[in-house]
Amino acid sequence: MVLSSMSPHSIDPAANLRAISEDLNRALKEAGRKGGIVTITAVTKKQNPARILPVLAAGQRVFGENRVQEAQEKWPALREQFPDIELRLIGPLQSNKAADAVRLFDVIETVDRPKIARALAQEMQKQGRRLKLLVQVNIGEEDQKAGVSPREVDAFLALCCEQYGLKIDGLMCIPPADEDPAPYFALLAKSAARNGLAELSMGMSADYAIAAQLGATSVRIGTGIFGPRS
């Protein structure tokens, strides 16, 4: 990636997407993940529609936002032009926003406590919508990060299923900054495999290739596509 040497004017999001896609294919091949597919979630927080449109024009359809309200302001209009968009919530969810989130998003990657699990189950029932759900794991057990502790993942998944009748599709994590992410990605992959979960959302702009080698099924890329956020 050559972003550091580029001024904001010369950032070409569509070209960045192509380069990332090639990196991912190479990583899959190196890791022997034959037939593996890694979905790129283009993270559009703090990006305005004018910056998102070229990426849509280039064919990108999966997008991530970390705030419900910001997503509500941007995406309904873009969806009218591009109805086949898949929108993923990758930031923390408050239970009083569960109804809005279920209405707007297709995937919620940040299920992280019983109250949210219950609110999502109720709202999906009420709206007759079934979203794909991932549990966020606080993989480095950091105080400042959201997510279920790695030691409590199995019990939380059981609770979601037995108590709320929720089908959880996978796990998501953000490893500690400034550390080798590989052991954390490996731990998340192991937790998912142990629980029979297919989806692994891990890897961001700095470490998506490592995540792909270790089993990611989706990577969440913001600055690597759009350049620095304003």
Ligand X SMILES: *Cc1c(COP(=O)(O)O)cnc(C)c1O
Q: Of 74 and 220, which has the nearer Cβ to ligand X? A: 220
Strand partners, 41: 220
* Dihedral sign (CA 165, 215, 151, 96): negative
Question: Residue from 43, 52, 119, 192 that binds ligand X (CB under 6 A)?
Answer: 43
Per rule CB under 6 A, is residue 227 in the interface with ligand X? Answer: no
- Reduce the DSSP state of residue 99 to 3 states and report it: helix
Separation between Cα atoms, residue 212 and residue 23, nearest integer Å:
9
Q: Of 89 and 166, which has the nearer Cβ to ligand X? A: 89
Shortest distance, position 216 Cβ to ligand X, whole Å: 12
Pairing of strands 62-65, 86-89: parallel
**By C-alpha distance, which of 8, 12, 3, 6 is closest to 54?**
12
- C-alpha torsion angle, residues 190, 191, 196, 201 (rounded to 10): -90
Determine the residue with CB nearest ligand X. 222
Question: Near ligand X by CB under 6 A, which window of 48-56, 140-148, 177-185, 217-225?
Answer: 217-225
Q: Of 48 and 125, which has the nearer Cβ to ligand X? A: 48
- Reduce the DSSP state of residue 192 to 3 states and report it: helix
Question: Residue from 33, 45, 51, 67 that binds ligand X (CB under 6 A)?
Answer: 45
Per rule CB under 6 A, is residue 39 in the interface with ligand X? Answer: no
Per rule CB under 6 A, is residue 223 in the interface with ligand X? Answer: yes
Q: Of 85 and 159, which has the nearer Cβ to ligand X? A: 85
- Kindly identify the residues of this chain, within the stretch 85-104, that bind ligand X according to CB under 6 A: 90-91
Question: Near ligand X by CB under 6 A, which window of 16-24, 53-61, 210-218, 221-229?
Answer: 221-229
Shortest distance, position 1 Cβ to ligand X, whole Å: 11
Residue 214 CB-half CA count within 13 A: 23
User: Which residues lie below 8 Å from residue 153, measured CB to CB, with a gap of 6+?
Assistant: 135, 137, 171, 191, 195
**Binding residues for ligand X (CB under 6 A):** 43, 45, 66, 90-91, 174, 204-205, 220-224
